[in-house]
């Protein structure tokens, strides 16, 4: 189980991530890249801030990747997540998964991002012209 999980304070690099999961015995790589969108529910967004409960976030990310390896025949999996301030178009998250065949890579990558958004203790604050809000905090 070859896994690389990192919480990083500086810009994420797609090339670095896809190169890391490349493997001579893999035929397909699926990558999910989150990018900061300029609008949320119709309202212009200026920037985002990500805060993490670091050790627990790393632990939860490892659990997710471990589950993915249990469910699909994967070769390598990488998960990079940002903390700090991100401008529009910047990358909060990169997930890259390699497998012998593409089905496993697609399904595992989808599972990892979906589960990450449910369980990993990282919080996003959206900054608008007229204020700021912790996403999902209120009903």
> Where does this chain bind a second copy (CB under 8 A)?
13-15, 18-19, 22-39, 88-89, 98, 100, 102, 105-106, 109-110, 113
Within residues 71-110, the interface with other proteins by CB under 8 A covers: 81, 92-93
For residues 90 and 33, give the distance between their C-alpha atoms in angstroms, rounded to a whole number. 10
For residues 48 and 59, give the distance between their C-alpha atoms in angstroms, rounded to a whole number. 24
Tokens encoding 65 = 């990747």
For residues 56 and 93, give the distance between their C-alpha atoms in angstroms, rounded to a whole number. 17
Residue of 4, 6, 9, 5 whose CA lies nearest to 83: 9
Identity of the residue, 65 or 105, whose beta carbon is nearer to a second copy in the bound complex: 105
Site track 17-56 with other proteins (rule: CB under 8 A), x = hit: -----------------x---------------xxxx-xx
Tokens encoding 67 = 């589950």
- Contacts with other proteins by CB under 8 A lie at 34, 50-53, 55-57, 59, 81, 92-93, 113, 116-125, 134-139
């Amino acid at each position: 189980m070859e896994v690389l999980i990192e919480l990083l304070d500086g810009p994420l690099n797609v090339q670095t991530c896809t190169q890391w999961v490349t493997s001579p015995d893999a035929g397909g790589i699926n990558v999910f890249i989150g990018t900061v969108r300029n609008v949320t529910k119709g309202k212009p967004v200026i920037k985002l801030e990500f805060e993490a409960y670091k050790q627990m976030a790393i632990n939860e990310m490892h659990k997710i990747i471990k589950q993915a390896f249990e469910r699909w025949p994967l070769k390598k999996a990488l998960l990079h997540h940002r903390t700090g301030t991100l401008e529009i178009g910047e990358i909060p998250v990169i997930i890259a998964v390699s497998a012998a065949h593409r089905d496993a890579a697609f399904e595992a990558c989808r599972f990892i991002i979906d589960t990450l958004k449910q369980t990993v203790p990282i919080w996003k604050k959206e900054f608008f012209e007229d204020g700021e809000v912790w996403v999902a905090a209120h009903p």
